[in-house]
Amino acid sequence: MKDKEISFPHAKINLGLFVCQRRPEDGYHILQTLFYPIDWRDALEIIPEGEPGHCRMVQTGICIDGDPEQNLCVKAYRRLQRLYPDLPGCCIHLEKRVPFGAGLGGGSSDGAYTLLMLRRLFGLPLNDDQLVKEASAMGADCAFFVRCNDYDIAPEKRQAQYCEGIGSELVPHIASLRGKYIVVVKPPFGVSTREAYSQVHPQWPETPLEKLLTLPIEQWRDTIHNDFEDSVFPQYPQLAQVKQSLYDHGAIYASMSGSGSACFGIFDSLPSTDILTWFEAGYEARCTQALL
Residues 101-105: what's their mean pLDDT? 93
Q: Strand 253-256 relative to strand 263-267: parallel, antiparallel, unpaired?
A: antiparallel
pTM: 0.94
For the stretch 70-81, pLDDT in tens is 999 999 999 999
DSSP code of 261?
S
C-beta of residue 274 within 8 angstroms of C-beta of residue 183:
no
User: Which positions are annotated as active-site residues?
Assistant: 12, 141
C-beta of residue 38 within 8 angstroms of C-beta of residue 105:
no
Q: Please provide the average confidence, as pLDDT, over all residues in the chain.
A: 93
The C-alpha atoms of residue 247 and residue 268 are separated, in whole angstroms, by 12
For the stretch 12-36, pLDDT in tens is 999 999 999 988 777 778 999 999 9
The domains of the chain, with CATH numbers, are: 5-173 (3.30.230.10), 181-289 (3.30.70.890)
Among residues 47, 42, 53, 41, which one has the least CA distance to residue 5?
Answer: 47
Q: What is the largest CA-CA distance in the chain?
A: 57
Bridge partners of residue 21, in order along the sequence: 30
**Is residue 265 scored above 80 in pLDDT?**
yes
Could you tell me which residues come within 8 angstroms of residue 156 by beta carbon, excluding any fewer than 6 positions away?
A: none
Environment class of 234 (CB within 10 Å of its CB; exposed 0-12, middle 13-18, buried 19+): exposed
The C-alpha atoms of residue 143 and residue 18 are separated, in whole angstroms, by 19
**Is residue 176 scored above 70 in pLDDT?**
yes
